[in-house]
Chain A
Amino acid sequence: MDEGSVPVAEDPGRRRRVHGMLKLYYGLNEEGKAPEQPESLDPCDINGPHFDPELYLNKLRRECSLTELMDQETCMVRQIRSLDSDMQTLVYENYNKFISATDTIRKMKNDFKKMEDEMDCLSANMAAITEFSARISGTLQDQHAQITKLSGVHTLLRKLQFLFELPARLNKCLELQAYAQAVNTHRRARCVLQQYSHLPSFKGIQDDCHAIMDKLAQELRQKFRDGGSSAKDLSECVELLLQLDEPAEELCDKFLSHARSRLESDLQGLEAEIRPSLPSPASNTDILEFIDRGCNEFVSSLCLVITSYQELFINHAQKGELLHAFVDDLAARYFMLVERRIQEEKGVGDNSLLVRALDRFHRRLQAVAKLLPGSAVPNKGTEIVIRAATERVKQYLSALQSFYMDSLTDVRQALATPRLSVAGTSVAGPASGRDAPTSLPELLSSLSASILNQIKSVLASVHLFTAKDITFSNKPYFKGEFCSQGVRESLVVSFIKFVCQSSRQFCETAGDKGGSTPPALLLLLSRLCLDYETSTISYILTLTDEQFLVQHHSPVTPVTTLCAEAREAAQKLLNHYVKVQGLIISQMLRKSVETRDWVNTIEPRNVRAVMKRVVEDTTSIDVQVGLLYEEGVRKAHSSDSSKRTFSVYSSSRQQARYAASYTPRYHSSTHTAQLVAEKILHFHLHVFLLPQVSVMTGIIKISLKTFLECVRLRTFGRYGLQQIQVDCHYLQMYLWRFVSDENLVHFLLDEIVGSAAHRCLDPAPMEQSVIEVICERG
């Protein structure tokens, strides 16, 4: 076993050496694999390079049992055998390969020898060819020069032929009106002809050509002058003429004048569209169509003219201002027409049409701006748009105003109608008085609602001017001034001012014809103005500011000013209402005193009908005022001293007012003396402190004062005085309810009776009890 094991142990080392040599021979590098197999330095590793069979055997013998050794031995023998067979196979293979390689090398040696011979033959042939070629080119040298010369002559002759044929060709072109070709041809020949003009034949040709070209130019000019052709033809014409060295200035002028005539015909077309609209507005084209036509015809031709001009006369820089002047002039006329057309746009119905038209107008002018930078045209166009917008705002204002006046007329009619029906049902006491004004609050609310709606719709219409998709809306004017000065100031604020103004006018015009403005209308307007002061104005202005994003660059009218104005108007109207109603009642009283013969009158049996009428009217006025002026205002403005009086009055009012029986209540009579001393007749209306009561007090004061004055102008008999006594007592029974302090009524009525007694020829007053009986019976 030992013997067997030794050769086995030696064999791998030898085999490895053989492997290495083979590798060396074939140029294979062992390095690639070397690092992967770190060589084990263990002498007991049977595959390692440092294997020591002695050590290994000793180790085995020391460590292993007999059976293990036996196993080891069989295993080793098996391995040795397989290794032996492997080696045998390898040797066989390698041997075969070596043999075939040797064969191949030998065969290659033979082949190369053959190839070398062929190469030698080839190089010999090439040398022969080179020699031949050199000889041939040497012989052909002369002929080649000759051919070149001949072909040069040929070209020259062709050129000459072209020249000789030129007149004919030009003529033909002329006949066919192929001007462009003619000019092109001539241009090509011109230099040559010029150069050789000293030769008589060329001279002749040149002259012919000149003649023809002159004719051509003539024709072109003629065509140009006729101007009937399209703009494109025209510009072609000009281009050709320019190439024919026509003077640019003249052409320029002519070109422009032609363009002008064409543009003017466009303008005339536009103008014609404006004219017929005057007699028959029905057939009128709307503004959008008009602007469309203007854009499509005028503006686009203008653009065309500008482009072709710039193309044609691009070298003539100094012509720029000529074009500018030309464009400005024509555009000015166009603008004039557009403005005239816009001015005809009076109806305020549909603003969107106008805005769209203006937008289109403005948009198309931008094209001009691009073509002709630095032109004033687009700015002028913007100015027109601005003017149109301002004009529009004005129109809206007047529309609003007329709407307001119309609604007032409606209100007036509405007020007049129930009044008639009341007159028809004759005197039916406070009930009929109520019928008429029940609609007052409704009228007020419908009036203010319709005005507000109108304002809103106008704002919406105007808002179109600043819509995002409109080209001119981003101009600084439309962003700033239009919103603040245009819309806010001259539209909204002006309208509010107008409302106040017209309200004040109602107070001024009346004079002695107080009937021209129904008192109820005054009352209604007063309430309207007051509402404006408290809420509507600020609402409208906030709405406007929000809608238009008003940025106040310039000072604007503050809300407070408008409110103050509205308040003043409301106060004035209410004062005037008091005056008018007072005058109406005064007039009744006055007529009743003046038309009677007080000296020769009969003994009083009844309260005079006039007094009943006065009480009735006063009651209905009270109801009327109460309908419009209610709690809110009183609470807001009443001072504490008057509040107390009023609350007493208010609580007792409902049951006391229409009470049939006469139960005078003399409450709150604490400051009688003070009042009388204070000259209570002074006419101070603090209407908003206690609207209803103040109004009634004012009216009653006026009426009774008139009564007093009329009495003082008359002379009374005994019964005359007694009648006055009865009347005054009757008034006292009913009028104290309406005033803030009934002492006032008492004082005035006392004064009346006193004055009558003074002016009585036979002053014998009636007994108080009799008076009371008469009054209660009445």
Chain B
Amino acid sequence: MEDDAPVIYGLEFQARALTAQTAETDAVRFLVGTQSLKFDNQIHIIDFDDENNIINKNVLLHQAGEIWHIGASPADKAVLTTCYNKTSDSRVVSCAAVWRMPSDWETGNHESPDESAHNPQTLELLCHLDDSTHGNAACVLWEPMGDGKRMISLADNHALLWDLQESSTQATVSSTATLEGKGQLKFTSGKWSPHHNCSQLATANDTAIRGWDLRTMRVWSVRYNHSHDQLVLTASRDSRLILSNMVSISSEPFGHLVDDEELSEGEELHQEDKGKEPLKDSVVSTYEEHEDSVYAAEWSSADPWLFASLSYDGRLVINRVPRALKYRILL
């Protein structure tokens, strides 16, 4: 029962933004945002054909700037958010915006994929997530189970809850929360909790993780309960991707999940089915296909045993959970 070899896909530019297309539950599809200062940045839509181990790609232009974070709407396949850097007048500004993919990208590109790479279509801007007081958006998180109306953006040391209105063309801040503490604290990453009716989220800054309750927007705990997580992916700067099988990490400080040398940065956690039999906490496998720091890893929304990882040098690798482990968890 050999595991399939990982599939590797290369991008022309450096990249650190990766997401699964959350609303898509049939096809294994990931979105990658590139980072380039000199050229127009792109969003690559990667389709993975599980049966044939083949990758199909589509490229959309993202002219606003280099993409630091990307998020896909859970309700509408075509809607996504990016956090990007804009350079103007030798100043670097971080912004966030909601975009819609052109409606015909799918049909049009299937016929001539090569051509589409050369003449990529452009994203349609729906709205900016602008708030004059809170700049430098680090990431935008969609409410995972909702109807695509709510999202959180993390900017510096603020967390903002946005409501999208009028088919996502208008966004208003409905509430904010601020992390206060010594020094300049910055949110670097976050994730919604899938439990508790989607009213809580966890954010990470440096080596600490914080839990938030959206109903009150107050810190309710400094720990995030991962008790229902089992398979955890950690991406790290030493160009390795580690799949750990953490059966019981409830109430474990976040720092323990982070690779030794890391300040928490570029980690993605994803939850998987709850284990039925007690398996030991262990590293399941380490993937070493990358040659540079891995900044993003993401589980597929369609196939829970599939995940993609993206390294800085623009290499996207799609891997599967080893079959032996998969069957052990399932059976």
Which of A's residues lie within 8 Å of B, judged by CB?
A: 511-512, 579, 582, 586, 590, 594-595, 599-600, 679, 681-683, 701-702, 705-706, 708-709, 712, 715, 717, 758-761
> Are B239 and A679 interface neighbours, CB within 8 A?
yes
Q: Establish whether residues B237 and A705, one from each chain, have CB atoms under 8 Å apart when the complex forms.
A: yes
| CA of A717 to CA of B92, assembled, Å | 10
Contact call B207/A512, Cβ cutoff below 8 A: yes
When the two chains form their complex, are residues B263 and A683 in contact, meaning their CB atoms are under 8 A apart? no
- The 25 sampled A-B contact pairs (Cβ below 8 Å) are A511-B207, A512-B208, A579-B260, A599-B90, A599-B91, A600-B90, A600-B91, A679-B238, A679-B239, A681-B237, A682-B240, A683-B238, A701-B261, A702-B261, A705-B237, A705-B261, A706-B261, A706-B263, A709-B237, A712-B293, A715-B37, A758-B14, A759-B37, A761-B37, A761-B90
Measured between alpha carbons, how far is A48 from B260 in the docked complex, in Å?
A: 141
Return the CB mask of B213-239 against A: 1 if under 8 Å, else 0. Answer: 000000000000000000000000111
- Chain B residues, Cβ within 8 Å of A682: 238, 240
The verdict on B288 contacting chain A, using a C-beta distance below 8 Å, is yes
Q: Chain B: interface secondary structure?
A: loop
Which B residue's beta carbon lies closest to that of A718?
Answer: B90
Binding site for A on B (CB under 8 A): 14, 37, 85, 87, 90-92, 184, 206-208, 237-240, 253, 255, 260-261, 263, 265, 288, 293, 312
Closest chain A residue to B261, Cβ basis: A702
The 9 closest A-B pairs by CB, nearest first: A512-B207, A681-B238, A715-B92, A599-B90, A702-B261, A709-B237, A600-B90, A683-B261, A761-B37
Partner of B87 from the list A595, A758, A761 (CB cut-off 8 Å) is A761
Judge whether B312 and A712 touch: CB under 8 Å: yes
Residues of A within 8 A of B253 (CB): 511
Q: How far is the CA of A736 from the CA of B293 in the complex (A)?
A: 23
Whole-angstrom distance between the Cβ of A49 and the nearest chain B Cβ: 135
A755 (CB) vs chain B CBs: closest residue: B312
Return the chain B residue nearest A514 by Cβ: B207
Contacts of A706 in B (CB 8 A): 261, 263
B87 contacts A709, CB within 8 Å?
Answer: no
Q: Which residues of A contact B91 (CB under 8 A)?
A: 599-600
Q: How far is B117's CA from A49's CA once the two chains are assembled, in angstroms?
A: 177
**Pairwise interchain contact B92-A599, C-beta atoms closer than 8 A:** yes
Say how far A1's CB is from chain B's closest CB, in angstroms.
Answer: 154
Residues on B with C-beta less than 8 A from A599 are: 87, 90-92
| Least Cβ–Cβ distance between A444 and chain B, in angstroms | 27
Chain B neighbourhood of A681, CB < 8 A: 237-239
State how many angstroms separate the Cβ of A72 from the closest Cβ of chain B: 145
CB neighbours of B288 from chain A (8 A): 679
CB distance from A313 to the nearest CB of B (A): 67
**A715–B238 contact, CB under 8 A?**
no
Cβ contacts under 8 Å, A600 to chain B: 90-91
Among A579, A679, A702, A709, point to the contact of B265 (Cβ < 8 A).
A709
> B90 to A512, Cβ gap below 8 A?
no
A334 to B293 Cα, complex, angstroms: 74
Closest to B14 in A: A758
CB-defined contacts of B312 to chain A, threshold 8 Å: 712
Residues of B within 8 A of A586 (CB): 263
| Nearest chain B residue, comparing its CB with the CB of A579 | B260
- Taking a contact as CB atoms under 8 Å apart, the answer to whether B260 and A683 are in contact is yes
In the bound assembly, the distance between CA atoms of A590 and B207 in angstroms comes to 14
Contact (Cβ within 8 A) B87 A582: no
Closest Cβ of chain B to A11, distance in Å, is 146
Cα(A57)–Cα(B265), bound, Å: 164
A599 to B91, CA, bound (A): 7
* Contact partners of B208 in chain A: CB under 8 A: 512
> In the docked arrangement, what's the CA distance between A701 and B262, Å?
12
Provide the residues of chain B in CB contact with A758, threshold 8 Å.
14
In the complex, A582→B263 CA distance in Å?
A: 12
Let me know if B261 and A717 touch, CB within 8 A: no
Contact in complex: A582, B92 (CB < 8 Å): no
The answer to whether B206 and A512 touch across the interface, beta carbons within 8 angstroms, is yes
How many whole Å from B317's CB to the nearest CB in chain A? 16
Find chain B residues with CB under 8 A from A761 CB. 37, 87, 90
User: A681–B184 Cα gap in the complex (Å)?
Assistant: 29
